[in-house]
Amino acid sequence: MERVCFLLKVKADRLSEYKEAHKDVWSDMIEALRETGWTNYSLFLRDDGLLVGYLETPDFEQALAGMAEKEVNKRWQDSMAPYFENIGGAHADQAMVRLEEVFHLD
Supply the residues annotated as catalytic: 22
The model's pLDDT over 5-50, given as tens digits with 9 standing for 90+, comes to 999 999 999 999 999 999 999 999 999 999 999 999 999 999 999 9
Using a 10 angstrom Cβ sphere, with 0-12 exposed, 13-18 middle and 19 or more buried, the burial of residue 4 is buried
Domains and CATH numbers, the chain: 2-99 (3.30.70.100)
pLDDT value of residue 60: 97
Least confident segment among 24-38, 53-67, 88-102: 88-102
